[in-house]
Amino acid sequence: MFDRRPAPNQRVALLVQYLGSGFHGWQWQPNQRSVQAELETVIEKIAGYPVRVCAAGRTDTGVHAAGQVAHFDINSPIPAHKWAVVLNNHLPDGVLVRASAPVSFDWHAQYSAIWRRYRYTLYTEAQPNLFVDPFVWHYYHTPIDETDIQAALKPLVGRHHLSAFRRAGSKRAHSWVDIHAAECCRRGAFVTLEVQASGFLYGMMRLLVGMLVQVGSQRRSIDDFHHIWKNERREAVKYAAPAKGLCLIGIGYPEPPFPAQARSSAMPHFAFDPLPISC
């Protein structure tokens, strides 16, 4: 069929945030709400023809993003830096464009990226809290020792074959991952795990956190954890952490298209302020 779409005159990069609980992941799916579909629907209404939006990485159902990056090609008089405002005037609740910028046609949100960073947040206090529940795994059944988790994480930094933390269904040809940083820390009742890598395997972070929580609660030893991933024992990794505790917080590029203020992590670290002595 003859393509009547006009030749694009610009490539626009987007810095996108979304609440994963309202979407069946990033990627377009038939009869399901996705972030990609919402963006493409709005852009098509503005442009008058279909436009494909490409992301740096596909997040699963329920996973949040504070710093997803995407791009699209379009023929439009709207300057690239204005697209954030234009899109936010039309996008539904739960998704927001933090910034937009012009990029060259050889720049690609996925293939130009050199790292991705995810954060997983655990809430360990016994009392539930409505205001943090959408963004955490409320894990209070047993105490969590974040120092054990950090000790387990440390040897993961480097290039490793991590097929033990890869869900079935991935089309990726291999399971090699270059991990640049892996950290665990506690802020009161909140324990966060952050991993930065060149790329992530399908389901990797949630499978990794599921096993690290076993280490932190002394249900599995650090040595056992290392033995499992080094020997690629996928059958021993049985539990994935809930999606809602996971957030894509940033994508790195050799020459970032967005200003530093927009790129800063917009996913806050949770902490409780003490109640005042008197009102």
User: pLDDT digit string (tens) for 204-216?
Assistant: 999 999 999 999 9
Please report whether residue 272 resides in a domain: no
Find the CATH number of the domain harbouring 123. Answer: 3.30.70.660
Residues 121 and 220 grouped into a single domain: yes
Beta bridge pairs of residue 100: 14
The DSSP result for 139-196, as a single string, is: --SS---HHHHHHHHGGGSEEEE-GGG--TT---S--EEEEEEEEEEEETTEEEEEEE
Please report whether residue 229 resides in a domain: yes
pLDDT band at residue 279 under the 50/70/90 scheme: very low
Please report whether residue 218 resides in a domain: yes
Please report whether residue 276 resides in a domain: no
Neighbours of 139 (CB within 10 A): 19
pLDDT over threshold 90, residue 61: yes
Kindly tell me the sign of the dihedral angle through the C-alpha atoms of 117, 87, 12, 40: positive
Count how many domains the chain has.
2
Q: Please give the positions annotated as active site.
A: 60
Q: What's residue 271's pLDDT?
A: 83
Residues 144 and 214 grouped into a single domain: yes
Region 114-131 average pLDDT: 96
Please report whether residue 74 resides in a domain: yes
- CA 62, CA 26: separation in Å to the nearest integer? 10
177-210 b/e (C-beta count within 10 Å ≥ 16 → b):
bebeebbbebeebbbbbbbbbebbbbbbbbbbbb
- Run of H or E residues at 38: helix 35-47
Pairing state of beta strands 115-123 and 137-138?
parallel
Please report whether residue 268 resides in a domain: no
Residues 123 and 245 grouped into a single domain: yes
Residues 245 and 119 grouped into a single domain: yes
Residues 125 and 220 grouped into a single domain: yes
DSSP one-letter code for 23: S
Find the CATH number of the domain harbouring 76. Answer: 3.30.70.580
Residues 54 and 173 grouped into a single domain: no
pLDDT over threshold 90, residue 224: yes
Please report whether residue 254 resides in a domain: no
DSSP one-letter code for 237: -
pLDDT over threshold 90, residue 260: no
Residues 107 and 129 grouped into a single domain: no
Closest CA relative to residue 105, chosen from 13, 14, 10:
10
Higher pLDDT: 95 or 5? It is 95
CB within 8 A of 20, min separation 6: which ones? 59, 61, 62, 63, 64, 65, 243, 244, 246, 247
pLDDT over threshold 90, residue 73: yes
Residues 183 and 129 grouped into a single domain: yes
Distances (CA, A) of 24 to 6, 19, 41, 117, 120: 31, 11, 16, 21, 19
Residues 93 and 129 grouped into a single domain: no
Q: Do residues 140 and 126 lie in contact, with contact meaning Cβ atoms separated by under 8 Å? A: yes
pLDDT band at residue 274 under the 50/70/90 scheme: low
Residues 20 and 144 grouped into a single domain: no
**Which of residues 112, 128, 144 is at a domain's end?**
112
pLDDT tens for 23-47 read 999 998 888 999 999 999 999 999 9
Please report whether residue 119 resides in a domain: yes
Residues 133 and 55 grouped into a single domain: no
Residues 119 and 230 grouped into a single domain: yes
Region 3-15 average pLDDT: 89
Range of the domain at 72: 10-112
The tokens for 122 are 């655990």
**Which of residues 77, 112, 147 is at a domain's end?**
112
- CA 270, CA 259: separation in Å to the nearest integer? 25
